[in-house]
Homo-oligomer: A and B are copies of this chain.
Amino acid sequence: MSADVRFMKGNEAIAEAAIRAGLQGYFGYPITPQSEIVEYLAIEEPKHDYVLLQAESEVASANMVYGGAAAGARVMTSTSSPGFSLMQEGVSYIACAQLPCLFVNVARGGPGLGTIQASQGDYFQAVKGGGHGDYRLIVLAPNSVQEMVDYCILGFELADQYRTPALVLTDGSIGQMMEKVVLPPPIAYKPNKPWATTGKPQDRERNAITSLYIESEEMEAVNNELQAKYKAISENEVRYEGYNLDDAEVVLVAYGVTSRVCRKVVDLGRDNGMKVGLLRPQTLWPYPTAAISELADESRVKLFMSVEMSAGQMVEDVRLAVEGRKPVHFYGRTGGIIPTPEEIINAIKAQL
């Protein structure tokens, strides 16, 4: 089969990728700017085997995902910022019950009802845990329609591998934009989930999916198990991309759509004689702390700048990595405004 090249919206692409990843169940509630995901799945439904259900709310969606995942199926939901806030209890349950599944947050500008334009203001919620308790999501941050495809599939795979929920954290700009994508052939998905609740046969103990551990000692043991898993993920699954870092004096750190703008900044900066480089985290959790830390050790590096579409969230993780060895600056826009290369260049100049 020759490469399947298409011109697609980010939202459509992630839906198509999910189908090709062997999606068995999608549960979701409409919200701009991600509704094309469910709409695409609705159109394609008759051609495939997955179940598509428009839930009564995001609270319900997240918990349908819980049920479907615990039944051993490859399931997902998608939403945008306020909807993801509503899912936080469910997310915490799913993380604790160790259920593999995929969340997609096509973020928009908050807080509150805010604006439907793109934003990166949900970074903290995604990486520190918007729900209660000590848990983590594997957070993947695509910066192109192609990566919407790639990370959707990767998200499902990592979720299964570690029995943990994964989140694609993207935003309205990437969800809405159209680009060229190369679609991979469909995966023949054969889940192997002996822990799933599918009806107890004679030859195994009953399976119970729960997040309740009323005794403190038990609960602590579960937390230790989770933390051990998170440690393994942190060691194995950090993904990032460098651009012109080898001789960079100014290191930009940016993810998602701002990382594309920052690529332009790097080029522009270099045209203007500034040695700018870009480190783009592809996984927001686990975070490329070590990579940033190494750069902080390079004497040529003068400063870091975290560029975000927020009031300053990821910059904390950059600071945690740099630990005071170099100045860490922040440049951000909010409300759905994608910063321009020019304003970022100016922000850098102001710090040099």
Contact = CB atoms under 8 A, between A and B. Distances in A.
Interface stretch (A13-21, A124-132, A181-189, A200-208): A124-132
Given A125-B130, A324-B324, A115 B337 contact: no
B88 A215 contact: no
Nearest to A120: B134
Interface residues of A, number: 70
B81 A85 contact: no
Contacts of A347: none
A135 B110 contact: yes
Interface stretch (A154-162, A241-249, A264-272, A309-317): A309-317
A223 B135 contact: no
A201 B283 CA distance: 54
Nearest to A323: B324
A133 B117 contact: no
A81 B133 contact: yes
Contacts of A316: 316, 320
Interface string A62-88: 000000000000000000011011101
A92 interface: yes
A115 B110 CA distance: 32
A122 B133 contact: yes
Listed residue (A59, A94, A121) with the most chain B CB atoms within 10 angstroms of its CB? A121
Interface stretch (A4-12, A48-56, A145-153, A328-336): A328-336
A244 to B, nearest CB: 26
Interface in A208-253: 210-224, 226-227
A335 B223 contact: yes
Contacts of A219: 109, 114-115, 117, 334-336
A97 interface: yes
A227 B310 CA distance: 11
Contact of A95 (B112, B313, B335): B112
Nearest to A328: B323
Listed residue (A86, A107, A219, A220) with the most chain B CB atoms within 10 angstroms of its CB? A219
Contacts of A132: 81-82, 84-85, 107, 110-111, 114, 121-122, 125, 130
Given A110-B131, A111-B135, 6 more contacts: A59-B86, A113-B210, A122-B132, A125-B128, A130-B131, A216-B336
Interface of A: 59, 81-82, 84-86, 88-89, 92-97, 107, 109-117, 119, 121-122, 124-125, 128-135, 210-224, 226-227, 310-313, 316, 319-320, 322-325, 333-337
- Complex A-B, nearest 8 residue pairs according to Cβ-Cβ distance, in ascending order: A110-B133, A112-B211, A96-B112, A323-B324, A219-B335, A111-B133, A220-B335, A81-B132
